Amino acid sequence: MSSIPDAVNIAKKKRLDELRPLRSKALGKLEHYYDIELTYTSNAIEGNTLSAVETTLVIEQGITIGGKPLKDHLEALDHYDAIRYVRELARQATPLTESDVRNLHRLVMQRSAPEIAGKYADLPRYVRTETGRDSFPSPVEIPALMGDFAAWLAHAPDSPDTAFTAHLRLVGIHPFNDGNGRTARLLMNLVLIRGGYPPVAVRPEDRLEYIRSLQQEQGGQGAEGLNSLLYRRLDATLEEYVSALDEA
């Protein structure tokens, strides 16, 4: 699946494992930094206008940024709550469930769109691609598709392949009226963290490649482009985690 040599990720993951058990203070600071980074990047690629610094101020100090929409502030708070829930859920050994996925969506939409938080879509959803409009499954199909997805997820190993496939499958079902991308990336990172990997941030500068690779997969051209991007980001994050913890 990956276009990144397996030895690269394996070596860095082995080094990360060797650093365990990680000192709680050093790990806490690193996780906090990345949780804000994940909040900023995941919201930014969906159109949120807060910068990385502004996102930090909203989360850490509760500051309102002048000239920025209230919705953008609420999205920052929502996503940060959701990624903290991901950290908590990752420490549990029980299989992931359909309710866990709906709870991720509920948290990531609880302030910004409470009327749809945790609820399956009741409207048609579609995306505009370079070849035209691509429709997602109808609302009546969602419960069965999510049941099948949850059954697969419950028995899949906590590996990068599972994480990236879960992200792709959830985006393909598009079970919610809004917030599908943020929820899929949260789920991807939940699986990665459970497997002992660091979370992956899809950055604003990755947005065009990310969207095009999703559209290519939805158009039947395979997932190689998306997998390549996600494995590159995982490799970079592994490098950052190992370097930061080595210094600590």
Mean pLDDT of 203-225: 90
Would the pLDDT of 142 be above 90? yes
**Given the structure tokens 């985006």, which residue do they identify?**
171
Would the pLDDT of 63 be above 90? yes
Mean pLDDT of 139-154: 98
- Asked if residue 200 lies in contact with residue 189, where contact means CB atoms within 8 angstroms, the answer is yes
Count Cα atoms within 13 angstroms, Cβ side, for 130.
10
pLDDT score, position 54: 98
Q: Which residue has the higher pLDDT, 190 or 14?
A: 190
- Asked if residue 197 lies in contact with residue 13, where contact means CB atoms within 8 angstroms, the answer is yes
Would the pLDDT of 215 be above 90? no
Highest mean pLDDT among 22-36, 172-186, 216-230: 172-186
What DSSP line would sit under 209-232, residue for residue?
Answer: HHHHHHHHHHTTS-SHHHHHHHHH
Mean pLDDT of 18-26: 76
Mean pLDDT of 179-199: 97
pLDDT score, position 8: 57
Confidence grade of residue 28 (pLDDT, cut at 50, 70, 90): confident
Which pTM does this prediction carry? 0.93
Exposed / middle / buried, residue 224 (Cβ in 10 Å: 0-12, 13-18, 19+): middle
Q: Which residues are catalytic?
A: 174
Would the pLDDT of 1 be above 50? no
The overall average pLDDT reported for the chain is: 92
> Considering the domain 6-119+131-247 in this protein, what is its CATH number?
1.10.3290.10
What are the extents of the domains in the chain? 6-119+131-247
Distance CA(197)–CA(220), nearest Å, equals 29
